[in-house]
Amino acid sequence: MSVTLFPGVAVVTGAGGTGIGAAVARAFAAAGCQRIAITDLNGSTLQRTQEAINAAHPGVQIFAQAGNVADDHFAESFIGAVVKKFGRVDYAVNCAGILGQSLRSAETGIEEFDRVNGVNYRGCWLSSRAELKQMVKQDALCSHDPKRPAQRGAVVNIASQLGIVSRPTAPSYCASKAAVIGMTRADAVDYSKDGIRVNCVCPGVIETPMIMENPAVRETITPAAEIAPMKRMGQPAEVADAALFLCSTQASFVQGHVMVVDGGYVTV
């Protein structure tokens, strides 16, 4: 078997279904990661991700546990269960997220603001906090390149191009993703001394259930893909590959980075 860039343990939130998180989990398996923990609010789509990976990569061990990242205690208990099963957490990709209702600020209720931020920002913070707590106390793994430092862990938060630029009627969502970018940079500053890298990926318009399954959302958001120079929607696998690069020791000097994967949308 060829040497993998991912000898450690991967954790992916929002990994149910056919969206970005599921693509990240599949990409880890395809890249030779042998121990992958996945979670999602939706237990049945999570099971489908597990079955798809088991079918394509029978040797890979999958630990799947459904739960709500917005819950105060779920992330800690999930990471505790991952460590019990696999011993450590090396690569954590936090994908769980929701779009929220299409409203301007004056029409947005506090409940809706809290719901969106509770999953996208607070839920991402709770997940990365639990992952970082584990990473700081584990031994570092050797790099693929003996000249580079060993890595104690890598966190990748999935933010959005809408954390950088905005679109109409999405103040809670845009702000929640800008918060993820700020949190990523702050954690990168704090955890560099521990041999942990923290980066984020900002996808553009990606063809996932979040965009495609609700006709109103599909009609509003998919035309935005035409604004990007590449004039198409991205595929979940294209975001997954960026996340895997940032997790790998090939990205050993990439820290606090905001990697935009949007077909050039924010450049025009």
Ligand X SMILES: NC(=O)c1ccc[n+]([C@@H]2O[C@H](COP(=O)([O-])OP(=O)(O)OC[C@H]3O[C@@H](n4cnc5c(N)ncnc54)[C@H](O)[C@@H]3O)[C@@H](O)[C@H]2O)c1
Per the listing, tokens 């989990």 go with: 25
The helix-helix angle for 43-56 and 20-30 (nearest 10°) equals 20
Helices 171-191 and 124-136 pack at an angle, to 10 degrees, of 10
The minimum distance between CB 88 and ligand X, in angstroms, equals 22
Identify which of residues 141 and 228 has a Cβ nearer to ligand X in the complex.
Answer: 228
**Residue 121 designated active-site:** no
Contacts with ligand X by CB under 6 A lie at: 14, 16-17, 19-21, 40-42, 45, 68-70, 95-98, 119, 123, 158, 160, 203, 205-206, 208-211
Cite the beta strand spans of the chain per DSSP E.
9-13, 35-40, 61-66, 91-94, 153-158, 196-203, 258-261
Shortest spacing between CB 153 and ligand X, in angstroms: 20
Nearest distance, CB of residue 54 and ligand X, angstroms: 18
**DSSP letter at 192?**
G
Catalytic residue among 91, 173, 191, 265: 173
Tell me the closest approach of the beta carbon of residue 98 to ligand X, in angstroms.
5
With respect to ligand X, which residue has the nearer C-beta, 181 or 205?
A: 205
Q: Across the strands, what pairs with 38?
A: 12, 64
User: Which is closer to ligand X, CB of 123 or CB of 153?
Assistant: 123
User: Which of the residues are catalytic?
Assistant: 173
